[in-house]
Amino acid sequence: MTTTHPTNTSTRAGTLGTNAYRPDGVAKVQGGFAFSSDMWSENMLWGATLRSPHPYAKIISIDDSAALAIDGVECVVTAQDVPGNPYYGLIMSDQPVFAAIGDTVRYCGEPIAAVAADHPETCKRALAAIKVVYEILTPVTNPQDCVSGIAPQIHPQGNVYRHQRIITGDQSIVGDVIVEGTYEIGMQDQAFLGLESALAIPDSGGEGLELYVATQWLHEDRKQIAACLNIPEDKIRLVLGGVGGAFGAREDISLQVHTCLLALKSGRPVRISYGREESFYGHVHRHPATIWMRHHADRNGKILKIESTMLFDGGAYCSTSPAVLINAITHTQGPYKCDTASVEGWAVRTNNPPCGAMRGFGVVQACFAHESQMEKLSVALGLSPVEIRLRNVMETGDRLITGQIMDSVAPVEQCIRETDAIAMPEPLLPNADIRQIPGGTGLTAQPGNIVRGVGWGVSMKNLMYSEGFDDYSTARCRMTDGVVSLKFATSEVGQGFTMLAQQIARTILGVNEVLLDTIDTQVGSAGSTSASRQTWMSGGAVKAACEKVLEDLFDHAALTFELSRDHVRIEETDIVDILSGRRIAVSEASKGVNLDRTEEYHHPPTEDLDENGQGNCHVAFAFVAHRAVVDVDVELGLVKVVQIATAQDVGRILNPISVQGQVEGGIAQGLGLAVMEEIIVKDGKVRNPSFTDYLLPTFLDAPLVEMVLIEEFEPKSPLGAKGVGEPPCISVTPAIANAIRNATGRELPRVPIRPYDICL
Amino acid sequence: MSAQELGNEIYTLRVNGQSHPVQDAWIGESLLYVLRERLGLPGAKGACEQGECGSCTVVMDSQAVCSCLVMAAAAVDTEILTVEGLGENGSLTDIQQAFLAAGGVQCGFCTPGFIVAVHHLLDSNPEPSEDQIRESLSGNICRCTGYGRILEAVKIVISKRDAS
Ligand code: FES
Ligand code: FES
C-alpha cells in the first residue's frame, strides 16, 4: 500500500492517522467476543420461524394444535398475535410480520408463524407439526411483466416501487460513434458470516422488553418494532449484539419482531438464531438488474450523450428498492463528464426474493453497465481503456446529469493515472504452481489454453443518504475526573467505528484512555451503518461532542490555572497556553471535573429529484479506479484473478490499516460478483441457499491487491475523510469482466461470468 | 418430546486439557453445539454448519476439523483444542497478536476459526510458502477482509519465529 501524501503529523499511539488497535480486538482473537448468536439468558427459550415453501399462494388455514401439543413447546405466534401494525418496512410499510390467513405469501421463505421451545430440535419438530393449507397461485417472476403491466397485481400497494427518469440536455444529439449493450447483473448475497440472531428479554412488569440484536441501525429497528408491537418506543431498549458483518443485509427487519412477540407471549427470554439456509430467506439481497445503455461519443472519444433504461427486480417487498433505483440512475454517467442524458428506471415488485441494500447500493449495477460501455467505446474508437477514460474524467465543479454540481474533491484523473502506474504482475510461468492457475488444485487448466487479459473499471459513489433524508448522527462525550467515555448508537459491524471513535477522542481531548459505553438506544440515533456514512456522520458527531467537552475543559482550566482562555490548545496530552507557554497535563486539568455533552451531526440538506430527475439529491461522492489482470483457460472457462491494481480517493486517512482492510475486503466481494456469486432463482425459488452451492471467494481466489490511497482532505467532511467502504467493491466487478472480455474476445454482458459463458 | 426425552446421554469430553461431563444432551448434537451451548465455550462459531466456512474449526487429536460436522458423542476419548485453549493465562499467542497488529480482524466472526487453523498450520508446517498458506486456509471463509491482512498476519508470525 502506498499513499499519495504523508499520513500523519502526530505519532501518539491511537490518535487519528495511526493504526490504532481495535477495542474489541483482543476479545475477538480469543473467542470471547459476544456475537448476537452467543447471547444467552437464564430460562431462555429457543425460537424458530415457519416459512412458506411457495413463492405465491393464498393461506387458507393454519393449524398449530399439533405443534402446541409437543412437550417442550411453549408458544406459537402468527399474524393474529401482532398487536400493532401488521406490516413493516424501511421505506414502505408493506411487508407482513407474518402472512395471515386469507392473505397471500409473496415469496418463497415468507414467515407464517414462529414457535418458542426448550431446544432447537424441539422447535424444528414443532414447525414440522404446524399444518398450513395453501391455495397455490402462479407467481410473477419476470420483472418486465410489471413494467409492461401484464402481470397481475400481487400486492395492494401495486407492482411498481418506483419509476423515475432523468432527462437533461439536447436529446437530438447524435454521436460520431455509438455503442450500446444490454447488461445483466445477478442476485448477490451479502453472506455475512455472523448469522441473524437476536435475544429478547421481557421486562418483569410485562410492559416492555430488551432486545439484543445484530443490526445496522438500532433506532430504525426500534421504531418499526414498536409500531408492530404497539408498545411505546421508550419501553423497548435495543442493545447491539456483536455483529458478524452486515454489508446491507441487516438494514431491514428480519427476526426482530418475531423474537419480541415470542418473548412477550411466553414471558421468557427467547433467542432466535438463523441457520445459513434460513439466512438466505431471512434477509434482502442485491437487486438483479437488466440495464440497457447507449453511449454517443465524438471522434475524439468525448461522451456526448447517454441513454439508458434500468430495470431492478425488487422482489416481493419494498425494502429500499426506490432508493437503490435512484442511486443507480443518478450514477448512469459514472465518473465522467456528460451533459446530455435520457435515463428511465424502474424498480418493481415480483414474487422473487425481496431485494434491498448491499454494499454499493444500486451503483454496482449501474457501474457494471457504464464500464462495459467504456470498454466498447475504447474498442470502437481505437483508444486504450486508460485514454478513453482520461478524455472524459469528471472534475470538481462539473454539472451532473441531475443538474447537481460536483462539489466533492474529485481526483478521478489521479485515480486512473496512479492505478496505471502500478506495476503489472509477472507473466504466468510455464511451470507455475497449480494453485496460481485457473481452476487451482481442482479442475486443472491446460497451461497452453491460458490467456491473460487486462481490464479497467472506474466508479463514483455517493456517500450518505440522499433525496432529502436527514440521516443525522448523535454522540455523547463525558469527561469525569479525567476519564473520557463515549456513547453512541452507531452499529459496529466490523468496520472499526469503535476504534475510530476512540482515535477521535484521544486526538481532540489529549487523553490516552477512552472508554466506550454500551451501544444501545439510550442515546439519540446514529443512523445506519451503511452508505459509507459512519466515519463522516458518527465521526462528525463524536468530534462535535468531544470539541464541546474540550471547550468546557478549557473554560475550567483557564480559570483554575490562570491561562489565557483565547490562547489555549491541546498539544499531545497537554493543554498549552501559547501566549505564556505554560503547559498543564490534561490529566491534571481535568481532576474533579465533570463534563458531559451530547451533539448531533447533520449533513447539508439534499433534495428530491423532480419529474425530470433534476435535483441536488446527493451529499458527497468518492471515486476509485481498478485495473484487473486475469488468467483465463478459454477451453474450460476457468478464471483466475491474478492482480487488482487500485487507486482510491479516500479523503484524509484516519487509520491506514483499516482503509487497507476495507479496500481488500471490498475487492473480494466485487470479485465474487464478477465470477462466482449468484443466488439462483427459478420460478421464484432459491436453488442454492447454502455455502455449498453459493460460492464465496476463498483465500485461493483472493487476488494480489496493489493499492494507492489518494489522500486529499475533503473540506466538506468533518474529519476530512471520505467513506471508504463501498467504492472498493463497485468498479472492480466490471474491471474483471473487461479483463475476461479482453482475454476471450467475448461480449459477456452478464455477471457473474460463468465458465460456460466463456467456453461454450 | 422434550429435550430431556430426546436422550440423556452422559459422556465426557476432553477440551483444552480439562474433562467436561456432558449431561442431558440429545445424541444428535454436534460438537459445535455442545461446545457452545453446553460447555460454555462459544469461541467456535457456526456460519454454515455444513463444513464450508471453517468458523467452527477446532483441533481434535492434532487434526483441524469442522466441529459442526463432528457428532459430540463421537468425540469422546479425543483431545479437543478450541480457541479458548490457546495462550497461557489469558495472554495472547504470537498468532493472535499478529492478527491484531496486521488488521486481520474486522467483524471477527471468522477469527477464532482462523486463529485455530493458523496454529494448526504452523504447528505442522512452520515454514509454509504463500501458496501453502493460501491452500491450507482456503477452508476458512472471511467475508470482511479479503484475506490480505490475514495473509500478512501469518507472514509476520513466520518471520518473527524465524528471527527468534
Ligand atoms: S460452521 Fe462448520 S464449517 Fe461452517
Ligand atoms: S473478519 Fe468478518 S468474516 Fe472475517
Q: How far is CA A401 from its chain centroid?
A: 24
Q: Which of A200-209, A384-393, A681-690, B136-145 has the lowest mean pLDDT?
A: A200-209
pLDDT band at A204 (very low <50, low <70, confident <90, very high): confident
Q: Is the pLDDT of residue A7 over 70?
A: no
Q: What string of H, E and C letters represents the secondary structure of A257-297?
A: HHHHHHHHHHCCCEEEECCHHHHHHHCCECCCEEEEEEEEE
pLDDT at res. A482: 85
End-to-end CA distance of chain B: 58
CA distance B96 to chain A (A): 6
User: Hey, of B59, B80, B143, B149, which one would you mutate to test binding to chain A, going by the most A CBs within 10 A of its CB?
Assistant: B143
pLDDT tens digits, one per residue of A41-65: 999 999 999 999 999 999 999 999 9
Q: Is the pLDDT of residue A71 over 70?
A: yes
Distance CA A572, CA A512 (A): 10
pLDDT tens digits, one per residue of A10-43: 689 999 999 999 999 999 999 999 999 999 999 9
Quickly count: other Cβ atoms within 10 Å of residue A538's Cβ.
27
Instruction: Give chain B's mean pLDDT.
Output: 94
Kindly state if the Cβ of B108 falls inside 6 Å of ligand 2: yes
Place of cell 476495507: A662
pLDDT band at A553 (very low <50, low <70, confident <90, very high): very high
pLDDT tens digits, one per residue of A78-131: 999 999 999 999 999 999 999 999 999 999 999 999 999 999 999 999 999 999
Question: CA torsion sign, A261 to A262 to A263 to A269?
Answer: negative
Q: Is the pLDDT of residue A304 over 80?
A: yes
A703 CA → ligand 2 middle, Å: 17
CA angle in degrees (0–180, nearest 5) for A625-B102-B161: 135
Structural domain spans, chain B: 3-85, 88-163
Comparing alpha-carbon positions, the chain B residue that sits nearest to A196 is: B47
Question: CA torsion sign, A580 to A585 to A588 to A594?
Answer: positive
Distance CA A527, CA A537 (A): 8
Residues of A in contact with B148 (CB under 8 A): 660-661, 664, 702, 705
Distance CA A404, CA A266 (A): 54
Instruction: Give chain A's mean pLDDT.
Output: 97
pLDDT at res. A206: 75
pLDDT band at B3 (very low <50, low <70, confident <90, very high): very low
CATH of domain B3-85: 3.10.20.30
In this structure, what are the phi and psi dihedrals at residue A34, rounded to the nearest 5 degrees? -90, 100
Instruction: Tell whether B16 is within 8 A of chain A (Cβ).
Output: no
Q: Is the pLDDT of residue B9 over 80?
A: no
- CB neighbours of A123 closer than 8 A, spacing ≥ 6? A46, A47, A48, A115, A116, A117
Distance CA A534, CA A723 (A): 8
Q: Which of A119, A191, A669 shows the shortest C-beta gap to B3?
A: A119
Distance CA A92, CA A402 (A): 25
pLDDT tens digits, one per residue of B108-120: 999 999 999 999 9
Comparing alpha-carbon positions, the chain A residue that sits nearest to B144 is: A665
Pairwise pLDDT comparison (A295 vs A435), residue with the higher score: A295
* Averaged pLDDT for residues A563-590: 96
Distance CA A389, CA A381 (A): 12
Q: Percent of chain A at pLDDT above 70? A: 99
pLDDT at res. A5: 59
Q: Is the pLDDT of residue B31 over 50?
A: yes
Contact of A166 with A402, CB cutoff 8 Å: yes
Distance CA A664, CA B151 (A): 12
Residues of A in contact with B109 (CB under 8 A): 35, 192-194, 244-245, 494
Instruction: Tell whether B120 is within 8 A of chain A (Cβ).
Output: no
Q: Percent of chain A at pLDDT above 90? A: 95
Contact of A150 with A141, CB cutoff 8 Å: no
pLDDT at res. B5: 45
pLDDT tens digits, one per residue of A255-285: 999 999 999 999 999 999 999 999 999 999 9
CA distance B16 to chain A (A): 13
Comparing alpha-carbon positions, the chain B residue that sits nearest to A666 is: B146
Q: Is the pLDDT of residue B4 over 60?
A: no
Contact of B46 with A195, CB cutoff 8 Å: yes
pLDDT at res. B7: 53
Chain B segment 74-93 residues within 8 A of A by beta carbon are 82-84, 86-87, 90, 92
Instruction: Tell whether B26 is within 8 A of chain A (Cβ).
Output: yes
pLDDT tens digits, one per residue of A139-180: 999 999 999 999 999 999 999 999 999 999 999 999 999 999
CA atoms within 13 A on the CB side of B130: 13
Q: Do A29 and B138 touch (CB under 8 A)?
A: no
Contact of A666 with A725, CB cutoff 8 Å: yes
Distance CA A480, CA B43 (A): 35
Give, for A608, the enclosing helix (H) or strand (E): none
Pairwise pLDDT comparison (B112 vs A482), residue with the higher score: B112
Nearest-atom number in ligand 1 for the CA of B66 is 2
Q: Percent of chain B at pLDDT above 70? A: 95
* Averaged pLDDT for residues A314-335: 98
Mutate which of A193, A359, A698 to test ligand 2's pocket (most atoms within 8 Å of Cβ)? A193
CA distance B163 to chain A (A): 24
CATH of domain B88-163: 1.10.150.120
* Averaged pLDDT for residues A203-224: 95
In this structure, what are the phi and psi dihedrals at residue A547, rounded to the nearest 5 degrees? -65, -35
pLDDT at res. A444: 75
User: A605 is written with which cell numbers?
Assistant: 440538506
Domains B3-85 and B88-163 share a fold: no
| Structural domains of chain A sorted by starting position, each given as residue range(s) with its CATH number in brackets | 2-18+472-602 (3.30.365.10), 36-138+201-243+250-274 (3.90.1170.50), 289-466+608-759 (3.30.365.10)
pLDDT at res. A443: 66
Q: Which residues pair with B129 in a beta bridge?
A: none
Secondary structure E strands in A464-610 = 473-480, 483-488, 514-516, 568-571, 574-577, 583-585, 594-601
* Averaged pLDDT for residues A639-647: 98
Q: Percent of chain B at pLDDT above 90? A: 88
Q: Do B55 and A71 touch (CB under 8 A)?
A: no
* Averaged pLDDT for residues A453-472: 98
Buried b (16+ CB within 10 A) or exposed e, B46-57: bbbbbbbbbbbb
Q: What string of H, E and C letters represents the secondary structure of A94-126?
A: CEECCCCCCCEECCCCCEEEEEEECCHHHHHHH
DSSP code of residue A520: B
Pairing state between β A341-348 and A160-168: antiparallel
pLDDT at res. A10: 61
Q: Is the pLDDT of residue B1 over 50?
A: no
ipTM above 0.85 for this complex:
yes
User: B22 is written with which cell numbers?
Assistant: 456432558
Q: Is the pLDDT of residue B6 over 70?
A: no
